[in-house]
Structure 1
Amino acid sequence: MGPFPCVLLALCVASARALQLLATDQKTIVIPQGDKVVLSCKFIVGPEDTGTLDIEWSLVAPDTQQADQYIITYTGDKMYSIYEGLKDRVHFVSVEPQNGDASIEIINAKQADSGTYQCKVKKVPGVQSQKTVLTVLVKPAKVNCFIDGPQEIGRDLSLKCQAKEGTAPLTYMWQKLSGSSSPVLQSDATTGILTVKNASQDYSGTYRCLATNRVGNDECLVILNVLPPSNVAGKIAGAIIGTLLGLAVLGLIIFCCCRKQKEKKYEKEVQHEIREDVAPPKSRNSTARSYIGSNHSSLGSLSPSNIEGYSKSPYNKVPSSEEYEHPPSQAPNFVSSKVAGPNLSRMGAIPVMIPAQNKDGSVV
């Protein structure tokens, strides 16, 4: 045996005694958001590995200028969870990792958890590590289907499909579920647009759009109903006529309201109008009494020197209408007459004592 085979055999024997990590088929893992994933890391310790067992899981920094982020460790028979981004969501699969299973499980995975994870097992003098790439994707969701363009015979239109959620790249596929067979449809798998040229009634039916990415899919439905062209001119004329009729009715209502308001205002003004009262007719009896009363007052002020001129006046006679209708400035002409003393007393005359005078006018 030559020297080279001997050296190779010695290395194989030495490696069998040293720490080893078992190979895994999952170097790259892709999961949907919200699922759980197990990152495998199993090892075998050789008889020469007598040091303390240390297990470290870290998230490798994408930039070599940055340090790796430690996630969870096992050292001195104790476990430590370090990374806040995975706090309460990561743990060792085995409760005794020292027995050869250093795999970890991540629950409720998020898109931010995507990255390269490294498992490092150290038991002096043996040290081994391996990496696993984890990709967390968001499944397509809230897919919306709609029609863009007029659904009329001879016109061009488009059926559009769009997912509001989902990690790119997304693939869209259209399928006709009901209705008659139609010509070959042209659709864009990346934009989700199905183009229909020179539409006919054969295109009418129910269509389904399926949005897909690496972790899932979602779908939506839309109904296409291609009809003959509508009478646009008739619709416009009808709209104009309807508008004019509406304006006419509105104008009539406004006119009636204004007229009613004017009538109410006129009635209110008539009720508050101040009119001049008509003078009442003259009363003959009251005039006659006033005339007699004035004569009595005149007689009551007569003195003996001027009684003599009124003694023959007819006081017991009520004056006629022609006599009391004379103006107050024209006093009636009475005929002087002598009246007896008793008659004067009955008429309300007051007796007055007149002193005697001599011829020269002096009082006796």
Structure 2
Amino acid sequence: MLSCIWDGGAPKALVWWDAPGGQGKAGEETSNVLVVRYNSFYFGKPYVCYAKHPLMVQTKTCSLTLATVSKPSLLISEAAPVEKSTTWMRCNVENGTKPILYVWQYKNNSGSITTFAQGNSSMVTMSNVNRSVTGLYRCVSSNFINSESSDWFLLDVICEY
């Protein structure tokens, strides 16, 4: 759902959407909300909100172009950290309409996958690492349009001595 609001005061402004695929309600009053069905998104094409206030000559516009999340890549501070050290991982996403959710996953030697962090931060820090965290790691980035996973990366913690 996309919402467009005019805070210009009285009298009330006429607000409408012009959206790809004829999804807008051009010129219809109280059409400030555009409900876009999940399978009817038009990526890379603008959704434009128009606001025409009776006391203003010019129509105001606001445009939004929806973008799918691109396949993320991992950036790691240290691929083979020494025990008791700190390492961080960053999930790099080139494109995607915000907000983007990041999920961090760990796969152990037996193949079991565990989510160990999630939220709106593209970075995770692991402090005081030890051999038990050796394994494969990846990030999954998603927005309201799609979800993509990075390739798995081996984090190999080295014994301190």
1:332-353 Cα distance to aligned partner (Å, 9 max, x none): xxxxxxxxxxxxxxxxxxxxxx
User: How far, CA to CA, are the matches of 1:175 and 1:37 in structure 2?
Assistant: 38
1:220-251 Cα distance to aligned partner (Å, 9 max, x none): 02211111247xxxxxxxxxxxxxxxxxxxxx
The corresponding residue for 1:216 is: 146
Question: Is contact 1:139–1:166 with CA below 8 Å preserved after alignment?
Answer: yes
* CA displacement at 1:178 relative to structure 2: 2.5
The corresponding residue for 2:48 is: 115
Calculate the aligned-residue CA RMSD, in Å: 3.5
Secondary structure in structure 1 of the residue aligned to 2:94? strand
Distance change (3 Å), C-alpha of 1:37 and 1:177: farther
* Higher RCO (CA 8 Å, separation ≥ 6 residues): 2
1:305-359 Cα distance to aligned partner (Å, 9 max, x none): xxxxxxxxxxxxxxxxxxxxxxxxxxxxxxxxxxxxxxxxxxxxxxxxxxxxxxx
* Equivalent residue for 1:141, pick from 46, 70, 82: 70
Distance change (3 Å), C-alpha of 1:151 and 1:135: same
The corresponding residue for 2:83 is: 153
* CA displacement at 1:108 relative to structure 2: 5.6
Question: Is contact 1:172–1:191 with CA below 8 Å preserved after alignment?
Answer: yes
* CA displacement at 1:190 relative to structure 2: 2.0
Question: Aligned partner of 1:148: which letter?
Answer: S
* Equivalent residue for 1:167, pick from 97, 104, 113: 97
Select the structure of larger CA radius of gyration.
1
* CA displacement at 1:152 relative to structure 2: 1.3
* CA displacement at 1:201 relative to structure 2: 0.8
> What are the ranges of 5 or more consecutive residues in structure 2 without an aligned counterpart?
4-19, 28-39, 52-62
Question: Aligned partner of 1:39: which letter?
Answer: Q
Question: Is contact 2:104–2:118 with CA below 8 Å preserved after alignment?
Answer: no
* CA displacement at 1:173 relative to structure 2: 0.7
Higher helix share: 1
Distance change (3 Å), C-alpha of 1:223 and 1:170: same
1:182-215 Cα distance to aligned partner (Å, 9 max, x none): xx94x46222222111111110111121101111
1:39-79 Cα distance to aligned partner (Å, 9 max, x none): 276xxxxxxxxxxxxxxx46xxxxxxxxxxxxxxxxxxxxx
Aligned length: 118
> What are the ranges of 5 or more consecutive residues in structure 1 without an aligned counterpart?
1-26, 30-35, 42-56, 59-105, 119-133, 231-364
Distance change (3 Å), C-alpha of 1:159 and 1:212: same
- Counterparts of residues 1-364 of structure 1 (less than 5 Å): 28=2, 37-39=21-23, 57=26, 109-111=43-45, 113-116=46-49, 136-149=65-78, 151-179=81-109, 185=116, 187=117, 189-220=119-150, 221-229=152-160
Distance change (3 Å), C-alpha of 1:40 and 1:162: closer
Higher strand share: 2
Task: Using structure 2 for the length normalisation, give the TM-score.
Answer: 0.58
Secondary structure in structure 2 of the residue aligned to 1:228? coil
Question: Is contact 1:139–1:167 with CA below 8 Å preserved after alignment?
Answer: yes
Task: Using structure 1 for the length normalisation, give the TM-score.
Answer: 0.28
1:285-317 Cα distance to aligned partner (Å, 9 max, x none): xxxxxxxxxxxxxxxxxxxxxxxxxxxxxxxxx
Question: Aligned partner of 2:84: which letter?
Answer: G
- The share of aligned pairs that are identical, in percent, is 19
Question: Aligned partner of 1:225: which letter?
Answer: D
